[in-house]
Homo-oligomer: A and B are copies of this chain.
């Protein structure tokens, strides 16, 4: 059976009876992403997307942080962009991607349109998460390291599957939705550090949404779109990738969200900076390392991380999120990395930039660029040379917030409230938190949106 058909059959027919731990994890993904949307809604990329699409008509779907309401696919576009605008939204390791930004943006728009419950939304989220994880296992690391920004390239078909599930498409329609979404799924990491990067998450949401609605209208597409000779595996990952057998083996077994979880980020910058930041903050907190004692910082990171972090000294805030020298210097000087680290003023500080000049980034030759994700776990080694010749060195494999070292619910709530406070529209953040955490069987998405439409 072709992979689109396999995904379609599974997505249409798998049980809605998910383990409680999976549903709990999905709720945390949704609330964390809604926070990121509120925080990101005031960023330039998000505002410009809303300005643009608002010219094409109004609708009934909520844009978080905005009074304007849009047609559902455009609300998904705007909210998906906002969710990723600070690079603060969660990460799914095997996909090398941000799963919840596109999935949540599309599902909120659809759930509001069709007055769906949180239970239905969580179920559809888990379907999309699964498709994204299994596609990632089949295609990464080769796909990602070939330059594809998998938040869009894998996010669009995964979102199509999630939306198809929530609409209730049958197996064949779902397969067509996924196939169509592969035609709406470009996107290069060349865009990292530009407004186009968060826009990729918005496009994944919009495109997955549109693909599912097109399939619902009866549009059909090639079954071979994933695993054919010109399928996305062959065209964008190639022979170095594990291939689709892993999908056949794993789909229907332990859910990906249980196997992998989601890495909910502590710092609003590229995930590839987090391990070095953790190392430096730990040296500072635990070994008393002071910024003024630092002669040199050497960070040794994976190929994926080294190529993601291509800005030495940032010209703007977007680039700062992808500049390890900047992030490392700010961590050492400020003792924290948060939204205050990424402002036009913060990135121009002379002391930070002077220290950033003394940060080098090199590639860890031991980490493969194309094998399976599981064969090449990420790590970062950071060595600091101090005045007088002393050294500190740390290796970080599991960054803070990663499923193996998750943020506590208190830490998540602190992040959420800080994110919600950035919204231009005052929102009832506590009510949103409660709505998404409501007990099983309780609540509908449209009800929560009322707490988001609170005006100043």
| Chain A residues engaging chain B, CB cutoff 8 angstroms | 44-45, 48-49, 51-52, 55-59, 71-74, 146-149, 152-153, 179-180, 182-191, 193-196, 199-200, 203, 210, 213-214, 216-222, 224-225, 228-232, 234-236, 307
A232 contacts across to B, CB distance below 8 A: 188
A180 contacts across to B, CB distance below 8 A: 196, 199
Chain B residue nearest to A113 (CB atoms) is B55
A222 contacts across to B, CB distance below 8 A: 188, 190-191, 193-194, 196
CB distance from A314 to the nearest CB of B (A): 14
Option from B56, B221, B228 in Cβ contact (under 8 Å) with A59: B56
Given contacts A57-B57, A214-B48, A214-B52, A219 and B199 within 8 Å (CB-CB): yes
CA distance A194 to B4 in the complex (A): 15
CA distance A195 to B223 in the complex (A): 12
Chain B residue nearest to A206 (CB atoms) is B210
Given contacts A59-B57, A221-B195, A152 and B183 within 8 Å (CB-CB): yes
Can you identify 27 A-B contacts, CB atoms within 8 angstroms? A48-B214, A48-B217, A49-B217, A56-B73, A57-B57, A57-B58, A57-B71, A147-B234, A149-B183, A179-B191, A183-B188, A183-B191, A183-B199, A183-B203, A184-B184, A184-B186, A185-B186, A188-B230, A188-B232, A188-B235, A190-B222, A190-B231, A191-B225, A196-B220, A199-B219, A229-B307, A235-B236
A231 contacts across to B, CB distance below 8 A: 188, 190
CA distance A75 to B146 in the complex (A): 35
A224 contacts across to B, CB distance below 8 A: 190
Given contacts A147-B235, A152-B183, A49 and B199 within 8 Å (CB-CB): no
Q: Is the CB of B235 within 8 A of A219?
A: no
Q: Is the CB of B194 within 8 A of A188?
A: no
Q: Is the CB of A220 within 8 A of B235?
A: no
Q: Is the CB of B195 within 8 A of A148?
A: no
Q: Is the CB of A49 within 8 A of B184?
A: no
A149 contacts across to B, CB distance below 8 A: 183
